[in-house]
Amino acid sequence: MQPLGEGSLEKEAFEDWWGRWSSTLSNLHPQIAEQWLYRHWCHSYMAFLDLAPITWRVEHWLGDDILSQVWLEFGGPMVPDHDYKAFNGPHGFGPNSTARAMNRDGTWDMPLLVLETPNGIISETGDLPNIRFVVAERSKRMRYLNALRHRGDGIGPHAMFILATPEAC
């Protein structure tokens, strides 16, 4: 499933990759496939999941609900002041794409990918039986949302793809 040219300047376009994989991944929204599989699958800590039984739905949550109910296993720690400065471009580079979208629109431009975990998770820090949702990627969006909420912004609602699989039950 690795895109042709992955890791090089010659990585194939998503459209070409999707043309080869769309029938196999017909249960997934194209944005899920692009964000999670095309961009990050080779490095995803959830690459062990069987993709065939995964279902999805879109939900819109307020920022505070996301931050209190969705676990960020990798991609942290979330440090609001540092993240705000880093995402808005230190040294005159300007905001990155995550900050640009959220600064402009008040929300992200691609729904956050979240795996539903009805029985909790086994984290690198131990069993967390009360965690019902975990970010399915290393998410800059989650970190920047946290930075914005600490500044009084990023209220939402924010779209999320909620992924469900029997493997997470």
Give the start-to-end residue ranges of the domains of the chain. 1-43, 50-168
Q: How far apart are the first and last CA of the chain?
A: 25
pLDDT for the residue numbered 60: 98
pLDDT for the residue numbered 169: 64
Q: What is the DSSP code string of 91-156?
A: GGT---HHHHHHHHHSS-SSPEEEEE-TT-EEETTEEETT--EEESS--HHHHHHHHHHHTT----
Of 49, 43, 17, 67, nearest to 115 (Cα)?
49
Q: Based on C-alpha coordinates, what's the Rg of the chain?
A: 16
Sign of the four-CA dihedral 61, 67, 73, 76: positive
- Give the Cβ contact number of residue 100 at 10 Å: 15
Task: Kindly indicate the confidence band of residue 75, based on its pLDDT and cuts at 50, 70 and 90.
Answer: confident
CA dist 141 → 36, 145, 150, 158 (Å): 13, 6, 14, 10
Would you identify the CATH topology of the domain 50-168? 3.90.1530
pLDDT in tens, 106-120: 999 999 999 999 999
Look at the pTM and tell me if it is higher than 0.85.
Answer: yes
With 70 as the cut, is the pLDDT of residue 63 above it?
A: yes
Q: Cα angle at 46 between 41 and 81, to 5 degrees?
A: 85
Q: What is the mean pLDDT of residues 91-99?
A: 84
pLDDT in tens, 12-58: 999 999 999 999 999 999 999 999 999 887 777 788 899 999 999 99
pLDDT for the residue numbered 54: 97
With 80 as the cut, is the pLDDT of residue 64 above it?
A: yes
> Whole-angstrom Cα distance, residue 113 to residue 140?
12
pLDDT for the residue numbered 94: 83
